[in-house]
Amino acid sequence: MSSVLKDKHIIIGITGSIAAYKAAILIRLLVKSGAEVKVIMTPMAKQFITPLTIATLAKSPILVDFYNPENGDWNSHVDLGMWADLYLIAPASANTIGKMANGIADNLLLTTYLSAKCPVLVAPAMDLDMYAHPANLKNLETLKSYGNRIVEPASGELASGLIGKGRMEEPENIVKAVEDFFFQPAELSGKHFLVTAGPTFEPIDPVRFIGNWSSGKMGYAIAEELAKRGAKVSLVSGPTNISSTHPNITKTDVVSAEEMYQKCIDIYPNTHGAVMCAAVADYRPDSYSNVKIKRKSNDLSINLTPNKDIAAELGKIKKQEQLLVGFALETNDEVQNSAKKLQSKNLDFIVLNSLRDKGAGFNHDTNKISIIFKDGKAEHFDLKSKANVAKDIVDQIVRSTKS
């Protein structure tokens, strides 16, 4: 049993979404972890899953109406809000998110939201077009500005049959986000780090781009580990299929190196340090064709122009008290090449991974690294899972972080 959740009071709000069936699993996992759970359903949620199922799993009657029509018993949203250590709304439909953002209170779930003093965690669930609509994205930003935390939806097959972002995160991952919320070790608390992850895509025309094989696994593992140790993390990510669930992580999605540069240059000055794990394209096509380039029988040349070196640009503005950690992905002369990058980009240390090592680098769940320091010393590590590699890197960050 997870001791972090033992005796925690959690209200679960269920809204009208096909993902309501996952709320049953979520409640079972939270109750199994020792949490005390009360459930509020919107009237629409009852169309998707029966109150009997939910009440049985929650071990308490579900709440829908402001009062019990049988005996006039009042369901006080104020008392509910006071009782809770956390209000988790999962699944949260676009409709409910819109009402929360705008202070509309036409059911018990929403009145409880408005009066709740406790932190609020929201797990959206909807079709990809609804999720991507500017109105919905704006509403989510509004909720974040109220201090609510969002468990980002995953990408995958949706109930509509379409594939994209909008599917409610799996119950196990939501429980992890809840555990992370209650478990805040202090080692890096009060610190703020920027992490870059994934590839960049440099568009050629509306259908083609120059990219690379980075999956984002290594960068996301570092962001997750920093967040677990209490740091606030700004994750700037190129296109990946990974979602981050830790409430300390704020993710910004970018596509090209130029977009990644713009975000990093904005964020870095207000941080304690940055970990540059992204595989950034060094070059982009020097012109973009607005229409698809047609196949012809003769050769086609694309002129490339250099992108900014983001790590080097941050190295130029790095303050005395800030940390800058780079990566080096090498295929030959590994130590010499990474030592040059360490120097030229003004890094504090560099994490070397070589494509000559089996199981290291792009896309694997494992990596094999060496950490190279400015004085030429190096620490070599065995092949490990990327989660454990991230622990080794963050251990070094903790040792190097300037107070």
Catalytic residue ranges: 212
* 202-205 and 208-210 beta bridge pairing: antiparallel
- 329 sits near ligand PMT (criterion: CB under 6 A): yes
Rounded to a whole number of angstroms, the minimum distance from the CB of residue 214 to ligand PMT is 4
Q: Does 362 interact with ligand PMT (rule: CB under 6 A)?
A: yes
Answer yes or no: are the C-beta atoms of 282 and 204 closer than 8 Å. Answer: no
- In the list 2, 214, 237, 401, the residue contacting ligand PMT (rule: CB under 6 A) is 214
Interface region with ligand PMT, contact rule CB under 6 A, candidates 17-25, 81-89, 209-217, 297-305: 209-217
**Minimum CB distance to ligand PMT, residue 348 (Å):** 12
**Which residues, in sequence order, are bridge partners of residue 276?**
196, 326
235: contact with ligand PMT by CB under 6 A: no
Q: From the list 122, 235, 280, 323, which residue makes contact with ligand PMT (rule: CB under 6 A)? A: 280
Q: Which is nearer to ligand PMT, 54 or 360 (CB)?
A: 360
**Minimum CB distance to ligand PMT, residue 387 (Å):** 11
DSSP state string for 177-207: HHHHHH---STTTT-EEEEEESB--EEEETT
Which two three-digit tokens encode residue 176? 């992890």
Three-state DSSP class for residue 9? strand
In this complex, which beta carbon is closest to ligand PMT, that of residue 165 or of residue 217?
A: 217
Q: Give min distance, CB of 205 to ligand PMT, in A.
A: 22
d(CA 219, CA 215): 9
Strands 149-150 and 120-124: parallel
Measured at the CA of 157, the angle between CA 153 and CA 163, to 5 degrees, comes to 90
Q: Judged by CB under 6 A, does residue 284 bind ligand PMT?
A: no
Q: Does 315 bind ligand PMT (CB under 6 A)?
A: no
Largest CA distance in the chain: 83
Select from 124, 153, 247, 361 the one that contacts ligand PMT (CB under 6 A): 361
Q: Tally Cβ neighbours within 10 Å of residue 150.
A: 22
Check residue 276 for interaction with ligand PMT (CB under 6 A).
yes
SS3 at position 395: helix
Helix (H) and strand (E) counts for the chain? 13, 21
Q: Radius of gyration over alpha carbons of the chain, in Å?
A: 24
CB distance 267 to 314 below 8 Å = no
Per CB under 6 A, the segment of 53-61, 119-127, 130-138, 321-329 that binds ligand PMT is 321-329
Find the part of the chain contacting ligand PMT (CB under 6 A) among 104-112, 124-132, 242-250, 322-330: 322-330
- Shortest spacing between CB 269 and ligand PMT, in angstroms: 16
Q: Which is nearer to ligand PMT, 20 or 394 (CB)?
A: 394
- Tell me: does residue 318 bind ligand PMT (CB under 6 A): no
To ligand PMT, the closest distance from the beta carbon of 267 in angstroms equals 13
Region near ligand PMT per CB under 6 A, out of 39-47, 109-117, 185-193, 357-365: 357-365
Minimum distance of ligand PMT from residue 264's CB (angstroms)? 8
Q: How far apart are alpha carbons 156 and 136 in whole angstroms?
A: 19
Q: In whole angstroms, what is the distance from residue 388 CA to residue 221 CA?
A: 9
CA angle, 88 then 91 then 97, to 5°: 80
363 binds ligand PMT (CB under 6 A): yes
| Cβ atoms < 10 Å from Cβ of 104 | 15
**Tokens matching residue 175:** 């429980």
Q: Is 181 in the site for ligand PMT (CB under 6 A)?
A: no
Q: Which of 48, 131, 193, 327 binds ligand PMT (CB under 6 A)?
A: 327
- Residue 369 CB, nearest approach to ligand PMT (Å): 8
Does 62 sit near ligand PMT (CB under 6 A)?
A: no
Specify the residue for token string 């990474």: 338
Paired strand residues for 9: 36
Q: How far apart are CA 357 and CA 368, in angstroms?
A: 7
Q: Which residue number, 131 or 327, has a Cβ lying nearer to ligand PMT? A: 327
Residues at the interface with ligand PMT (CB under 6 A): 196, 198, 214-219, 257, 276-280, 282, 307, 309-311, 326-329, 341, 353, 361-363
